């Protein structure tokens, strides 16, 4: 089954404790992206990746890191989480052309609800 | 600045009522447009999309949307809603040839049985 998976689905942590949220897709998509969803703000893009080893900042990258060492995986790293990073996080993937942009819709993972105390 | 504006944050309708959700965007250049739906407790799913061609696009579950370029709008419509349409709806825009996606703040629809 074609899907985007995220782990963990729920996480409660404390300020400053490094964490990683994993994202994996089995559709051989070049493009992957991370979003956070907050009430009244919709989804805001954190980082995206056009292909292996190619990443770029979205609208709210502060406090986050990403890496794309393999095509199927795109982990989101919070080096020193803070309470304002409490949110619902979604990973997404899509077909794309490296220099030509997205060519299809995005497929979203089930979300990771993060609480930072 | 690039932005997407959804006019209604909350909409309450009775079953069989008609639905129209507004979406306006501000984005330089040509765009791809999307409506996504998020049912309670679930992840986002695509309702419909516009890349080019006929500005009236039809999606799943009887939804349709019309791209009006002169108004920078992409409103979502459904002639007769059902209780199962209760969800949050997001409009999104991508610059053609680009990789960033801008989402609206979402509209929560509640359909009374």
Contact A42 B106 (CB under 8 A): yes
Instruction: Quote the DSSP letter at residue B72.
Output: T
State whether B43 and A58 contact (CB < 8 Å): no
Residue A100 main-chain phi, psi, to 5 deg: -115, 5
Whole-number average pLDDT of chain A: 92
User: Which range is least confidently modeled, A71-75, A82-86, B51-55?
Assistant: B51-55
Query: pLDDT of B64-98, one tens digit each?
Result: 999 999 999 999 999 999 999 999 999 999 887 77
B3 touches chain A (CB under 8 A): no
Backbone torsion region of residue A11, taken as left when φ is above 0, otherwise alpha when ψ lies between -120 and 50, otherwise beta: beta
pLDDT given at position A40 = 86
Instruction: Provide, rounded to the nearest whole percent, the portion of chain B with pLDDT above 70.
Output: 100
- pLDDT at position A101 over 70: no
CB A29 within 8 A of CB A93: yes
* Interchain proximity B102–A31, CB inside 8 Å: no
Q: What is the mean pLDDT of residues A5-16?
A: 96
Q: How far apart are CA A64 and CA B71, in angstroms?
A: 36
């Amino acid at each position: 089954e074609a899907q985007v998976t995220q782990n963990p689905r729920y996480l409660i942590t404390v300020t400053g404790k490094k964490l990683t949220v994993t994202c994996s897709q089995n559709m051989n998509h070049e493009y992957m992206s991370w979003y956070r969803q907050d009430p009244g703000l919709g989804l805001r893009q954190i980082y995206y990746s056009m292909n292996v080893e190619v990443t770029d900042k979205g609208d709210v990258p502060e406090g986050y890191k990403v890496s794309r060492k393999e095509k199927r995986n795109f982990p989101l790293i919070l080096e020193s989480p803070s309470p304002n990073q409490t949110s619902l996080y979604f990973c997404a993937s899509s077909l794309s052309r490296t220099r030509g942009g997205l060519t299809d819709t995005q497929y979203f993972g089930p979300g990771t609800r993060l609480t930072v105390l | 600045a690039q932005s997407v504006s959804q006019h209604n944050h909350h909409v309450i309708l009775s079953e069989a009522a008609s639905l129209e959700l507004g979406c306006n965007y501000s984005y330089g250049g040509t765009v791809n447009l999307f409506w996504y739906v998020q049912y309670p407790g679930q992840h986002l799913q695509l309702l419909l999309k516009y890349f080019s061609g006929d500005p009236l696009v039809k999606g799943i579950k009887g939804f349709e949307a019309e791209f009006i370029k002169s108004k920078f709008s992409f409103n979502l419509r459904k002639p007769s809603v059902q209780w199962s349409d209760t969800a949050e709806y997001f409009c999104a825009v991508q610059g053609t040839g680009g990789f960033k996606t801008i989402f609206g703040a979402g509209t929560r629809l509640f359909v009374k049985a």
